[in-house]
Amino acid sequence: MKVLVPVKRVIDYNVKVRVKTDQTGVDFANVKMSMNPFDEIAVEEAIRLKEKGKASEVIAVSIGPREASETIRTALAMGADRGILVKTEGEVEPLAVAKILKAICDEEKPRLVITGKQAIDDDAGQTGQMLAALLGWPQGTFAHKLELDENTARIEREIDGGLQTVEVRLPAVMTTDLRLNEPRYASLPGIMKAKKKPIAEKTPADYGVDATPRLKVLKVSEPPKRQAGVKVKTVVELLDKLKNEAGVLG
């Protein structure tokens, strides 16, 4: 069966994000970009399914600028078979992404879509759920463990009270949590092979989707700087400051 894995190009998680001086957005100038970490986990899980003989093909999809092809190449170097780049300029909101992915699913007929539970740039965490709704497929979100057979997927997911196990019929959509697996590093042979693997280039219009944003960003600002701490000599002084300065005690 085919497994479809959307991958997003984001600012590397090790990079300190800077806000533009005019507060219109994030400064991307000379910033290292990489694959969204949750999407790396999704790619790894899809590749493991292929290595177990439960998946026949892994397709990596990215929606973004031309540079997003580098993100797809990373997935191909890890072991994905081919890629699809849907070229767009500017921000693409989760609903538009889900609509594009829905059209790709209609065309490619995958039995399983594995997405990261969220992207670390906008933290929306909506695409997988929206895609499942558009397709009319069952979904298993925040997956901690996956067991797959011919017609069903058993997904163990993390919830506030512990772990919950759900069983869904294929085709289905799954979103990955942090502890699902540990993504591999792309090997040198994998990187060389990735250069020869095909990446199809498309646009939202090819899938009949209008990717025009529906939301307008009014301002982007950094969080307030943390105040310096103070030392207190007694418990009485601590309680006084918590009550009269911090206002956290009644």
The pLDDT, as a whole number, for residue 91 is 87
Q: What is the pLDDT of residues 2-51, one digit of tens each?
A: 999 999 999 998 888 888 888 888 888 888 999 999 999 999 999 999 99
Whether residue 22 lies inside any domain: the answer is yes
Q: Which structural domain, as residue segments, surrounds residue 107?
A: 2-224
State the chain's mean pLDDT as an integer. 92
- ∠ CA 28-215-64, rounded to 5°: 45
The pLDDT, as a whole number, for residue 5 is 97
pTM for the predicted model, two decimal places: 0.86
Give the rounded percent of residues in the chain with a pLDDT score beyond 70. Answer: 100
The answer for residues whose C-beta is within 8 angstroms of residue 56's C-beta and 6 or more apart is 1, 2, 50
The pLDDT, as a whole number, for residue 156 is 94
The answer for residues whose C-beta is within 8 angstroms of residue 109's C-beta and 6 or more apart is 2
Whether residue 242 lies inside any domain: the answer is no
Over residues 177-184, mean pLDDT: 92
- ∠ CA 120-118-95, rounded to 5°: 115
Please, which pLDDT band fits residue 250 given cuts at 50, 70 and 90? Answer: low
Q: What is the pLDDT of residues 64-116, one digit of tens each?
A: 999 999 999 999 999 999 999 999 988 899 999 999 999 999 999 999 999 99
Distance CA(58)–CA(39), nearest Å, equals 13
Whether residue 117 lies inside any domain: the answer is yes
The pLDDT, as a whole number, for residue 96 is 95
The pLDDT, as a whole number, for residue 228 is 81
Q: 57: buried, middle or exposed (CB in 10 Å: 19+, 13-18, 0-12)?
A: middle
The answer for residues whose C-beta is within 8 angstroms of residue 78's C-beta and 6 or more apart is 40, 43, 44, 47, 183, 184, 186, 190
The pLDDT, as a whole number, for residue 106 is 96
Count of structural domains, the chain: 1
Please, which pLDDT band fits residue 158 given cuts at 50, 70 and 90? Answer: confident
Nearest one of 17, 12, 14, 2 to 113, comparing CA atoms: 2
Query: What string of DSSP letters covers 63-114?
Result: EESTTHHHHHHHHHHHT--EEEEEE--S---HHHHHHHHHHHHHHH--SEEE
**Residue 189: is its pLDDT beyond 70?**
yes
**Residue 117: is its pLDDT beyond 80?**
yes
Whether residue 249 lies inside any domain: the answer is no
Whether residue 235 lies inside any domain: the answer is no
The pLDDT, as a whole number, for residue 249 is 75
Whether residue 184 lies inside any domain: the answer is yes
Whether residue 161 lies inside any domain: the answer is yes
Over residues 212-221, mean pLDDT: 88
CATH number for the domain harbouring residue 50: 3.40.50.620
Which tops the pLDDT comparison, 49 or 220? Answer: 49
Whether residue 250 lies inside any domain: the answer is no
Distance CA(91)–CA(113), nearest Å, equals 22
